[in-house]
Amino acid sequence: MCSRCWPNAACCPGRPETAGAAAKIESLSTAVSIDTTGTAAAAALARSPLAESQAIRRSRWWVEALAIAWLCWIYDGITDLAPLRVHAALAHGSGLLNLERSLGIDPEHALDRWLAGHPSLGLLVSDYYDNAHFIVTLGVLGFLWWRRADIYRPLRNALVLVNLLAFVVFWLYPVAPPRMLSGFVDVVASTGAIGSWHTGALASAANQYAAMPSLHMAWAGWSALAIWKLTGNRWLRGAGLAHVCITAIAVLSTGNHYVLDVLGGLLALAVSVLLVKALEGLRARMREGGPQRPAPLPGALPGA
């Protein structure tokens, strides 16, 4: 290396040690790159659940309203036929209770009599039974629609499907709730709970012989599942699971459902979720197996 150009080794490219140093510097410059434009951070943000949710458009609000109206119309049609099935519904209710007794899973009567003896607690439980069913489920559904479009549709579809499955059972196998059988107390009616569907004008709008499966349990389970997918916060997840447990106690102790109804509601939810997942998987495979653009020939210009 010449003395006039030290320490700049680049002016003596012919020397071996100079060439080696230049090669090392070149390799380091290509191996290490610093992102000064924030591209990596932007890419990470684009992959976040919130960004994905914002990238997916919400469905039209009136489409969702029409879906709810359609479900209400079907339910109303089944309700209109309920008075024609009183004897069958009572017989089915007695049959379910006898089956539970034979299996040793019949706490309904003991819970109902105990709650009936505590009017203040009975009113609290009855209000929860009447109102949390709608407030929690519709609240979670509305939040998903507004904020998490990326997970809204499959959850919405599962909720719609579980209602349709329940409607089919209501049609084919009407079941009277325990409160209509001998020895039980209608706690909701006796306490005068807010929003009671057992007395007054609302009683005529409700299907009184739709105990199996329990949509209260199906909706509560759906809400817990949606909250679980929505957040990793353990307190919110715990609240969702607590809602399921409180709903189970409420429907049994107020004389509105049997243990088998509770299990039937959770089973209907599981079937709905699995069916929706299977249909989504099938649709994804159909999209992947569709006609694909042929690979360009070697040497062809882009877009040719």
Q: Average pLDDT of 237-246? A: 98
CA atoms within 13 A on the CB side of 260: 22
**What pLDDT score does 26 carry?**
52
User: pLDDT-derived band of residue 185, with 50, 70 and 90 as boundaries?
Assistant: very high
Distance CA 209, CA 232 (A): 38
User: pLDDT-derived band of residue 60, with 50, 70 and 90 as boundaries?
Assistant: confident
What are the phi and psi torsion angles at 193 (to 5°)? -60, 150
**What pLDDT score does 59 carry?**
85
The alpha helices in the chain, defined as continuous H runs, are 16-31, 39-46, 49-55, 61-81, 86-103, 108-116, 119-147, 149-172, 187-191, 215-230, 234-253, 259-288
**What pLDDT score does 294 carry?**
53
| 58 domain-assigned | no
* Token pair listed for 146: 């507004």
Q: How many separate domains does the chain show?
A: 1
User: pLDDT-derived band of residue 140, with 50, 70 and 90 as boundaries?
Assistant: very high
| 154 domain-assigned | yes
Query: Is 163:71 a contact under the CB 8 Å cutoff?
Result: yes
Q: By residue range, what is the domain housing residue 99?
A: 83-284
Q: Average pLDDT of 83-103? A: 95
**What pLDDT score does 54 carry?**
52
| 209 domain-assigned | yes
The angle subtended at Cα 272 by Cα 64 and Cα 132, nearest 5°, is 60
Q: What is the CA radius of gyration of the chain?
A: 31
pLDDT tens column, 160-171: 999 999 999 999
More reliable by pLDDT, 196 or 251? 251
**What pLDDT score does 201 carry?**
65
Nearest to 140 by CA among 212, 244, 248: 244
| 261 domain-assigned | yes
Query: Is 40:46 a contact under the CB 8 Å cutoff?
Result: no
Percentage of the residues of the chain whose pLDDT score is greater than 70:
76
Distance CA 142, CA 68 (A): 12
More reliable by pLDDT, 275 or 287? 275
| 297 domain-assigned | no
User: pLDDT-derived band of residue 55, with 50, 70 and 90 as boundaries?
Assistant: low
Count of residues making up the chain: 304
| 156 domain-assigned | yes
Helix axes 108-116, 119-147, angle to 10 degrees: 110
Distance CA 164, CA 71 (A): 8
Distance CA 251, CA 210 (A): 13
Q: Average pLDDT of 113-142? A: 96
303 sits in the region (left: phi over 0; alpha: psi -120 to 50; else beta) called left
Percentage of the residues of the chain whose pLDDT score is greater than 90:
63
More reliable by pLDDT, 234 or 14? 234
Q: Is the pLDDT of residue 288 over 50?
A: yes
pTM for the full predicted model: 0.77
pLDDT tens column, 146-156: 999 999 999 99
Query: Among 55-64, 81-90, 221-230, which range has the highest average pLDDT?
Result: 221-230
pLDDT tens column, 245-276: 999 999 999 999 999 999 999 999 999 999 99
| 4 domain-assigned | no
**What pLDDT score does 61 carry?**
86
Under 8 Å CB-to-CB from 253, ≥6 apart: which residues? Answer: 111, 112, 114, 115, 125, 187
| 22 domain-assigned | no
